[in-house]
Amino acid sequence: MVMKKYFIIAALFMLAACGQKSATQSQSQDSVQTADESKYISSDLQLFDLYGNVDSVTFDYETTHFDEKGKVCTANVAIERDEQGRIVKYEFGSIETVGDMWYEDQYSYNESGVVVKKIHSSIFSSQTITYSYDEAGHVKQSIAEVAAEGEVWKEEQNYTLLEFDDHGNWTKRKVEAPEEDASIEERQIYYRN
């Protein structure tokens, strides 16, 4: 119940940072979808695998807002950028403001500007995640080395994109991991008019 309360408080902070607009319709696809728009508006949108004039995206109980130029403008987030303007560190809140919901992500990019590694730190664990991509530029696999409670293990996840919206952004994907049941992840994307 305490965790849910923190999520609600964090969501309210995020809604105050930018406006929320209407979501687009999703459509099922049998094959890999490429974006209707030829490139990302910003490196921030590329980091989140989003095309178009995105206002916000809600995924895994977290809403991230973007300004008119496609830069993250979510409240309670500290961002560090490299010389190309890409996010290299993304920190949600502080232990004092969000308690055990605090986390920090650090990103490493390849020469093409694509994220190849993320180090995710939270109060509960640390993860080093590497990514591989399909021919359309969507994440197809992640392999994480997780350290928590004095133990270290690897987690592999494979992604199959199932639905896309009218802008070419995925809205639903299947996640498969060895020795686990497949799960479905969904995200809600809002656009500026």
pLDDT tens digit sequence for 20-56:
444 444 444 443 444 434 467 899 999 999 999 999 9
pTM passes above 0.85:
no
d(CA 63, CA 7): 10
Q: Residue 163 pLDDT more than 90?
A: yes
Range of the domain at 65: 2-191
Query: What's the distance, Cα to Cα, between the start and end of the chain in Å?
Result: 36
pLDDT at 4: 36
Number of domains in the chain: 1
d(CA 98, CA 16): 16
> Strand locations in the chain, DSSP E?
26-28, 54-59, 62-65, 77-81, 87-92, 103-109, 115-122, 126-133, 139-148, 151-165, 170-176, 183-191
Q: Residue 6 pLDDT more than 90?
A: no
pLDDT at 90: 95
In the chain, % of residues over pLDDT 90: 66
pLDDT tens digit sequence for 48-98:
999 999 999 999 888 999 999 999 998 888 999 999 999 999 998 776 777
Pick the residue with more confidence: 148 or 37? Answer: 148
